[in-house]
Amino acid sequence: MSGAFGDQALEPPARTTSQRMARFVAKTPIHIALLAIALVWLLPTIGLLITSFRPSEDVLSNGWWTVFTGNLRFTTDNYQSVLGGQGMLTAFLNSVSISIPSTILPLLISALAAYAFAWLEFPLRDTIFLVVVALLMIPVQMTLIPLLDLFAALGLNRGFLMLWIAHTTFALPFGIFLLRNFFITLPRDLIEAARMDGASSWKIFTTVVVPLSVPALASYGIFQFLWVWNDLLMALIFAPRGGQPMTVQVTGLLGTYGTEWHILAAAAFVIMLVPLIVFFSLQRYFVQGLLAGSVK
């Protein structure tokens, strides 16, 4: 049928109020379960945040949950003590100096290598890619001492250069694997059209592949940044004297202020603050990157 009656026949029937209520009630158990899971995950963070603002005598005498019963005594002295007297401000700057280059370098190199494995033809391409994937199975702990000896022999054991190289090296196999699997899902016709228009491989990479791959690049960047920011093992081995990040500094506070929970809570939340900001500000790209390549 055509005309007004045909158009009306194609329109879906409007839901009544009772249908909407029935739909809401049917999904209520799912909403309650998701809310309970979110609460369980957030509860330690909420407790840590509240403890970091409580005076030491309150922390030692009662639990953080007593703030909900009217015990609303808060102070910023804990953060002043951590950032001023415990060297956490310097450690924070060290963490930033380590994390940003250790995220940008593997992101750039992995994207270039993944583009080559996905869209360029060269001898032994698939064999080399399998070797790169096989490197994912090598434990990091097995390479730390040989790598440290190599850095010392090459004179690279100064500043943050060792950490930048180490984090970049260990991050490349996963980054190449992840981005290559995304790049091959891009439309071939689009790549071929750019080549027919005379675009070079570099031009195709910068103007076609990268703009279409922002979610995947952002997801890998988030993973790498959080990994480097929260790293303790490589920081203990490769960080120079006086250049320890916050993860190492907090372990030192555990020995000095083992029972000063308000100091430790403030220091721990300072470490958590930047990853939380990065994740929530880029969560849209993070979710898109996790789903990228699942459907074409």
Residue 240 lies in a domain: yes
Highest mean pLDDT among 14-18, 112-116, 262-266: 112-116
**Mean per-residue pLDDT for 16-29?**
68
101 and 73 belong to one structural domain:
no
Residue 20 lies in a domain: yes
Please tell me the predicted confidence (pLDDT) of residue 225: 92
State the average pLDDT for the chain: 81
- 256 pLDDT band, cuts 50/70/90, is low
Q: How many residues does the chain have?
A: 296
- 257 pLDDT band, cuts 50/70/90, is low
Q: How far apart are CA 55 and CA 50, in angstroms?
A: 10
Residue 296 lies in a domain: no
- 254 pLDDT band, cuts 50/70/90, is low
267 and 223 belong to one structural domain:
yes
The CB density around residue 194, as the number of other CB atoms within 10 Å, is 18
The backbone torsions φ and ψ at residue 57, rounded to the nearest 5 degrees and listed phi first, read -65, -35
Please tell me the predicted confidence (pLDDT) of residue 108: 95
50 and 150 belong to one structural domain:
no
pLDDT at 8 over 50: no
**Mean per-residue pLDDT for 214-237?**
88
When divided into structural domains, the chain yields a total of: 2
**What is 35-100 written as a DSSP string?**
HHHHHHHHHHHHHHHHHHTS-HHHHHHS-GGGGGGT-----SHHHHIIIIISSHHHHHHHHHHHHH
Q: How far apart are CA 66 and CA 19, in angstroms?
A: 43
- 86 pLDDT band, cuts 50/70/90, is low
CB of 182 closer than 8 Å to CB of 111: no
Query: Residue 279 belongs to a domain with what CATH number?
Result: 1.10.3720.10
104 and 226 belong to one structural domain:
yes
155 and 69 belong to one structural domain:
no
Which of 11, 44, 78 is a domain's end point? 78
61 and 95 belong to one structural domain:
no
Q: Exposed, middle or buried: residue 51 (CB in 10 Å: 0-12, 13-18, 19+)? A: buried
Where on the phi/psi map is residue 219: left (φ > 0), alpha (ψ -120 to 50), or beta? Answer: alpha
Instruction: Give the pLDDT confidence of 132-163 residue by residue, as tens digits.
Output: 989 888 888 888 888 888 888 888 777 788 88
90 and 201 belong to one structural domain:
yes
pLDDT at 118 over 80: yes
pLDDT at 6 over 80: no
93 and 61 belong to one structural domain:
no
Q: In the chain, pLDDT over 70 holds for what percent of residues?
A: 84
Calculated CA dihedral for residues 150, 156, 158, 160, nearest 10 degrees: -90
Q: What is the sign of the dihedral through the CA atoms of 39, 44, 46 and 47?
A: positive
Please tell me the predicted confidence (pLDDT) of residue 295: 46
181 and 272 belong to one structural domain:
yes
Residue 234 lies in a domain: yes
Provide the residue range defining the domain that includes 230: 81-291
251 and 271 belong to one structural domain:
yes
Tokens at 7, concatenated: 């158009």
137 and 87 belong to one structural domain:
yes
Which of 78, 103, 121 is a domain's end point? 78
Please tell me the predicted confidence (pLDDT) of residue 170: 92
Which residue would you say has higher pLDDT here, 211 or 8?
211
Which of 21, 46, 78 is a domain's end point? 78
Please tell me the predicted confidence (pLDDT) of residue 1: 45
